[in-house]
Structure 1
Amino acid sequence: MDYKSEKEKGQSVTVEQVDDASIIRADDAKLAELGYKSEFRREFSRLETVSFAFSIMGVVASVSSTLSFGLVNGGHVGMVFGWFIPCCFVMFVALSMAEMASSMPTSAGLYYFSAKLAPEKYAPLASWITGWANITGQVTLVCGIDFTCAQMITTAIAVGTDGAMILSPGATFGLLLAILFSHGVVCSAATMGTCIAAIVSLLVLSDGNRASTSDAFTLFENNSGWHNNGWTFMLAFTAPMWTLTGYDSAAHIAEETANAARAAPLAIIVSVIGTATLGWLFLIATSFAIPSVSDILSTDLPLPMGQVFLNVLGKRGMLAIWSLIIVTQYVTGAAQAVDASRVVFAFARDNALPGSRYWKKMNRYTQTPVNAVWFVIGVSAICGVLGFSDTALTSLAASSVIGLYTSYTAPIFLRITSGRDKLVPGPFSLGRWAVPIGAIAVSWVSFIVVMLFFPPGQTTTPQEMNYSVVIIMAVFIFSSLSWILSARKWFRGPVRNIDDSPEMSLKEN
């Protein structure tokens, strides 16, 4: 916006409008410098970007969905400290990612970071690996969130009918498809309050029927099929690792964010700290509200947290707060679908997906990548077939964590090795702490990825196995063969779609 020309036309222009226009022009210039033309409206403010990243993790709904991991693998200790320990390590990953998002604010995100930080010879391969890992995690995360949303609805139906109606896996799959379809429609075109209400109700209304302070924090129970208690406890880490995913969304919507170089890193850090803290408080309250872990695990309800609320609040109270949690999970799924579609769009924009010419199209009316949205919804629906196994959530959670955290760690590893001198610091920089923080992040994720391939129990059956190995290996084999037979000959990583220099972009705007 030209301030003088607007005044000559007799129009009133505020200082705020001039400042906003200047920020957007600077954002577009930075994007042009990174090699891309601006195709999205920059509609996200700093607060909205933080809220978006926070909403994807949907703490109250995510904790409610994954309570069984802590209950089975350590009981009270698994719930409380199985959450706290991983959250501390995830902060190192978040800090490293925030630094890169500040330096390179583009929707291409992680695979763009890898391409720019890798040795020039290996930049395309690094970008290819990171991009496929991220898309795998993004899509399975959409499916996992919406699958647990469907389970929440079936739990509510079971409680509302006093157990007379327990929906079959087929009916649950039908609900999943309906939720996915509605998210496709929403994406083509209230979390903190619910969490606080849940914490207060569990602490206050469980009075007289709660665990002692000693039991709530120190009672260890091994209800898994593993004999080693230490290994069992570490399997409880699955819950916080699954919950603390998706905060890279702040990077993926950078091209839709004003002042992205500052807003994106802020959103990553604040959303992780907020989710980790609220989740831990929620689990502490839940631990007090469970006098008997075995009683909760023996429930017929699809999600044990539903039984916890039923015991503490009664039928009406449980259904009231459970309805809010369902809404939270639904919103979380919608936000994640938006995030995943932006990743697909960005990767397709660089011609790295089969049928890229379709997935990179922008709808001229909505200015959103509608085709990419339906790509995400379609593949998520296919992954939803896992809902017919007994370990659907374990498989989906492990797949999303392995895919996402592999893509998180690849550029971090490159940042502390070959890319030490390549990163041009943005407004948020770790400075001399980048290498030790990055080293801890890479070490932690390496351990977690290996752990998540293991089954829930020491012996397993086809119905109870961890199918994450099937999903991850299928993507690995497909992407590897694609690279060897074809992509290595033509894929060069992020492709510039703008010829203008930043200076020219400024003039045109």
Structure 2
Amino acid sequence: MPSDEKRTVVTCEEAGLDEHDSLATIRHADDLLLAKLGYKSEFRRKISLIESTAIVLSILTPLASVTVTLPFPLASGGHVGMVYGWIIPCMFVMTVAASMAELTSAMPTSGGLYYFSARLAPRRWAPLACWITGWANVTGQVALMCSSDYLTAQMIATALEARSDGAVKLGLGPTYGLMIALLVSHGIVCSFKTSILARINVYYVVLNLGTLIALTVALLVCSGGQRVSAKTAFTSFENNTGWSNNGWAFLLSFYAPMWTMVGYDSAAHLSEETTGAARVAPIAIVSAVASTSLLGWLLFIAISFSTASIPRLLQTDFTIPAGQLYLDVLGKPGMLVVWSILIVLGYACGMAQGVDASRVIFAFSRDNALPGSKWWKRVHPGTRTPVNGVWLVMALSAILGLLSFSDAALTSLAGASVIALYTSYITPIFLRLTSGRHTFEPGPFSLGWWYMPIGSTAVAWTAFVIVLFLFPSGVNPTADTMNYTVVVIMGVFMFASLSWIFSARKWFKGPVRTIGTSTSDDSIAHDGEELEEKNEMRIEEREMSG
């Protein structure tokens, strides 16, 4: 892959093409780079920088994320949990986002993370690294899709309850039914042309950020007599978790930002549909994570100032406690206006996540890694989208949504998505620091020599978070209150491990080249040794010239 941004000419040989291949059909440098990475372009490149950033922001959706994850810091530190339990993890997440952005700039493919692992791992271990990363990412994407529509269903239930003054209160069954309806509608919408969805997301982001800023100001201005002092807002600590150790209780507040900060790899998965992907995708990742961190923190500070009683919010009858806060501060009309916007934003989040997850399914199936891959990798000739992959995501999300009948559904879904996705995030970053440190060729977005301290921090932080998210949110868990994260993660891990041991290790060789192949068993992982040798020669040449 070219590391010099001024280099615009890629030869047939470098692109992995024979002279007789139809190079004329590849219209610009993005497709030439993709060809060099081993893939034929199958999508229309219609996504711009603004649209790519908008899609990532729609998935992170700071306004809705802060609102629905408020129970975590409320119980785990109160005011301190809201203010510091958000910003501390966000600073560490930036190291993961920056490392991922560098990898995406060098290898902009729909496969994203598992492709990175295949290229950076030693040849012998490349297929296994690819297999682990791919299955972890697929699991996380489905869990995130499920949790997104589950929380949107909860927001609808809260709106109905507030509108009826408590007369209408949906139980777990009707809420699950709402989630299924949302999944079906998202299946239809996500089958449309990507260019249409990308354009719509720009308007959603404007609505998201505008409402967040307006709500932040409104909470500070309208809280009036119930507004607490700065000392209380920034230093008051309350432990309502049941855990006796206050330090451990505070750590549980990290659930809010960590569950929010997932899905920003969507820019990588949509890179084959992005114009100027090597530049656009990494900028979208870093800018979206940075803005979500800052705006979410400002909103949490405003919420901390306007929260007069932590126990009142924790004991509310509303499905989502933030509804009680907005009702107390803004009144019923104001709360319903904000909540209506939140429902729209929650739906937009599910739409963006459905697109992202379907691209992961498509890419992994393109490399024949999923059962029934021949179905899931099909691209609809009219919309040029993986319609079958979209509906597989929705079906799996509906099955995983059965966890919503548990009292710890939010904790379980958040834990499953965070652990699975961050496992897929950190695997190629770890390989970049180890086996790939001499062979990696950066793209236009490069961390330079900072890659080592930034990547090492990202790896250490992720290892800590994975352990944290396996614990239950309260003491003495029962069948209804236990954290089912370990069940979801271990279930997929066992299936993927047994599949590897008894079958996949014999035939799965990593990403499969779809262009310029000379044999039916040509894979990108097989090119690893040749790639390492070429890069070692380049390193020696540089040292001699230096």
**Shorter-chain TM band:** over 0.9
Q: Which residue of 1 aligns with 2:236?
A: 219
User: What is the CA deviation profile of residues 81-133 of structure 1, one whole-angstrom value per residue up to 9, with x for unaligned ones?
Assistant: 00010000000001100000000000000000000000000000000000000
1:104 to 98, 102, 107: 107
Q: Which residue of 2 aligns with 1:487?
A: 504
Structure 2 letter corresponding to 1:177: I
Q: Aligned runs of 1:457-476 on 2, under 5 Å?
A: 457-476=474-493
CA shift in 2, pair 1:86/1:424, >3 Å: same
Q: Check if 1:150 corresponds to 2:167.
A: no
Cα distance in structure 2, aligned partners of 1:411 and 1:129: 11
Q: Which residue of 2 aligns with 1:62?
A: 65
Q: Which residue of 1 aligns with 2:163?
A: 160
Structure 2 letter corresponding to 1:193: G
* 1:24 CA drift (Å): 5.5
User: What is the CA deviation profile of residues 400-456 of structure 1, one whole-angstrom value per residue up to 9, with x for unaligned ones?
Assistant: 000000000000000000100121110011111111110000000000000100001
Query: Secondary structure of 2:70's match?
Result: helix
Q: Which residue of 1 aligns with 2:544?
A: none
Q: Which residue of 2 aligns with 1:229?
A: 246
Cα distance in structure 2, aligned partners of 1:393 and 1:161: 25
* 1:23 CA drift (Å): 11
Q: Which residue of 1 aligns with 2:408?
A: 391
Q: Check if 1:496 corresponds to 2:513.
A: yes
Query: Secondary structure of 2:224's match?
Result: coil
Cα distance in structure 1, aligned partners of 2:162 and 2:454: 46
Query: Secondary structure of 2:226's match?
Result: coil
Structure 2 letter corresponding to 1:81: Y
Cα distance in structure 2, aligned partners of 1:76 and 1:26: 51
Q: Check if 1:43 corresponds to 2:46.
A: yes
Are 1:104 and 1:113, in contact at CA under 8 Å, matched by a contact in 2?
yes
* 1:362 CA drift (Å): 0.6
* 1:201 CA drift (Å): 1.2
* 1:52 CA drift (Å): 1.0
CA shift in 2, pair 1:24/1:45, >3 Å: farther
Structure 1 residue runs of 4 or more that deviate by more than 3 Å after TM superposition: 21-24
1:139 to 142, 146, 153: 142
Cα distance in structure 2, aligned partners of 1:119 and 1:23: 31
TM-score by length of 2: 0.87
Q: Which residue of 1 aligns with 2:338?
A: 321
Q: Aligned runs of 1:173-192 on 2, under 5 Å?
A: 173-189=176-192, 190-192=207-209
Are 1:23 and 1:258, in contact at CA under 8 Å, matched by a contact in 2?
no
Structure 1 letter corresponding to 2:323: G
Are 2:26 and 2:32, in contact at CA under 8 Å, matched by a contact in 1?
no
Cα distance in structure 1, aligned partners of 2:399 and 2:372: 18
Query: Secondary structure of 2:34's match?
Result: helix
User: What is the CA deviation profile of residues 452-485 of structure 1, one whole-angstrom value per residue up to 9, with x for unaligned ones?
Assistant: 0000112110000000100000000000000000
Are 1:117 and 1:419, in contact at CA under 8 Å, matched by a contact in 2?
yes
Q: Which residue of 1 aligns with 2:348?
A: 331
Cα distance in structure 2, aligned partners of 1:84 and 1:140: 24
Q: Which residue of 2 aligns with 1:430?
A: 447
1:94 to 93, 97, 115: 97
Cα distance in structure 1, aligned partners of 2:187 and 2:432: 35
Are 1:24 and 1:258, in contact at CA under 8 Å, matched by a contact in 2?
no
Are 1:23 and 1:259, in contact at CA under 8 Å, matched by a contact in 2?
no
The root-mean-square deviation of aligned C-alpha atoms, in Å, is 1.3
* 1:46 CA drift (Å): 1.2
Cα distance in structure 2, aligned partners of 1:29 and 1:124: 25
Q: Which residue of 2 aligns with 1:346?
A: 363
CA shift in 2, pair 1:22/1:240, >3 Å: farther
Cα distance in structure 2, aligned partners of 1:194 and 1:148: 19
Q: Check if 1:288 corresponds to 2:305.
A: yes
Cα distance in structure 2, aligned partners of 1:259 and 1:191: 26
2:79 to 76, 79, 97: 76
* 1:198 CA drift (Å): 1.3
Identity %: 60
2:88 to 82, 85, 89: 85
Query: Secondary structure of 2:437's match?
Result: coil
* 1:22 CA drift (Å): 12
Structure 1 letter corresponding to 2:144: L
2:423 to 390, 399, 406: 406
Q: Check if 1:33 corresponds to 2:33.
A: no
Are 2:145 and 2:353, in contact at CA under 8 Å, matched by a contact in 1?
yes
TM-score by length of 1: 0.93
Cα distance in structure 1, aligned partners of 2:481 and 2:471: 12
Query: How many residues get paired?
Result: 481
Cα distance in structure 1, aligned partners of 2:75 and 2:353: 28
Are 1:105 and 1:254, in contact at CA under 8 Å, matched by a contact in 2?
yes
Are 1:61 and 1:328, in contact at CA under 8 Å, matched by a contact in 2?
yes
* 1:225 CA drift (Å): 1.7
Q: Which residue of 1 aligns with 2:527?
A: none
Q: Which residue of 2 aligns with 1:4?
A: none
Q: Check if 1:243 corresponds to 2:260.
A: yes
